[in-house]
């Protein structure tokens, strides 16, 4: 799993104690999983390299949201489309494979229905990650999440539930600053990205609706 998802910290926690490659669903054979891994190589390689650039631009800090600059977003969506086409023959049995769920949850909406909305707004959200208010929200989120990962007293489901709660707190904390800088359409986009990713991977997670954050 490429590091871009580890930067989006909850994935590191979730994957670290996941017991299998499938999140429910049908049995995905080893041969099919191997084919899927081959399909994801171009996308995985690109976003792993992108993670290094992002860390440098954010002065070594981690990103709390899956936001990309315009040119990188266009390339990621191109590679995601290639991944979808390549993996299509294996979807009957492997739609619940971890890699498929992660990629589709993260890019399925923004690279299709949300594509034009992202192009209009993505750059602004990338810049807001550098603002003092959002930085503080992010630091709190990352600190809580790292502590959660290393806490041996909590069971798997407790960690999942708390990770979900931590992201809801982050969204509530960053909401006003992000919406003021980028507008409601942009905020709705990022909210849906987070909701799709968290609820796609954590079936018991419920990201607060837009009117429940404050």
* Best CA proximity match to 58, nearest among 121, 131, 149: 131
- Region 48-53 average pLDDT: 78
Taking Cα atoms as reference points, which of 125, 109, 113, 115 lies closest to residue 67? Answer: 125
Write the pLDDT tens digit of every residue in 144-176.
888 887 888 888 888 888 888 999 999 999 899
pLDDT beyond 80 at 22: no
Residue 53's alpha-carbon distances to 48, 132, 198, 210, in angstroms, are: 9, 21, 24, 31
Express each pLDDT in 110-127 by its tens digit: 999 999 998 988 778 778
- At residue 126's C-alpha, the angle toward residues 198 and 77, to 5°, is 65
Q: What is the pLDDT of residues 56-86, one digit of tens each?
A: 555 555 555 556 778 888 999 999 999 999 9
> Of 64, 102, 76, nearest to 190 (Cα)?
64
| Half-sphere exposure at residue 102, Cβ-oriented, CA atoms within 13 angstroms | 23
| Alpha-carbon separation of residue 16 from 19, 119, 120 (angstroms) | 9, 33, 35
Strand partners, 97: 22
């Amino acid at each position: 799993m490429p590091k871009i998802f580890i930067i989006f910290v909850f994935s590191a926690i979730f994957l670290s104690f996941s017991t299998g490659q499938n999140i429910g669903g049908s049995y995905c054979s080893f041969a099919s999983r191997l084919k899927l891994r081959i399909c994801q190589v171009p996308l995985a390689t690109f976003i792993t390299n992108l993670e290094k650039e992002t860390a440098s631009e954010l002065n070594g800090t981690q990103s709390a949201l899956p936001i990309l600059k315009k040119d990188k977003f266009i390339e990621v969506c191109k590679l995601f489309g290639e991944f979808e086409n390549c993996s299509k023959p294996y979807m009957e049995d492997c739609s619940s494979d971890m890699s498929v769920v992660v990629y589709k949850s993260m890019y399925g909406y923004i690279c299709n229905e949300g594509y034009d909305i992202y192009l209009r707004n993505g750059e602004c959200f990338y810049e807001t990650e550098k603002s003092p208010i959002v930085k503080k929200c992010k630091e709190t989120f990352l600190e809580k999440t790292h502590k959660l990962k290393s806490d041996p007293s909590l069971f798997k489901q407790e960690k999942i539930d708390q990770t979900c709660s931590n992201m809801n707190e982050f969204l509530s904390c960053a909401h006003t600053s992000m919406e003021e800088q980028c507008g409601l359409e942009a905020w709705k986009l990022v909210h849906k990205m987070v909701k799709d990713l968290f609820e796609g991977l954590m079936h018991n997670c419920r990201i607060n609706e837009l009117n429940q954050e404050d």
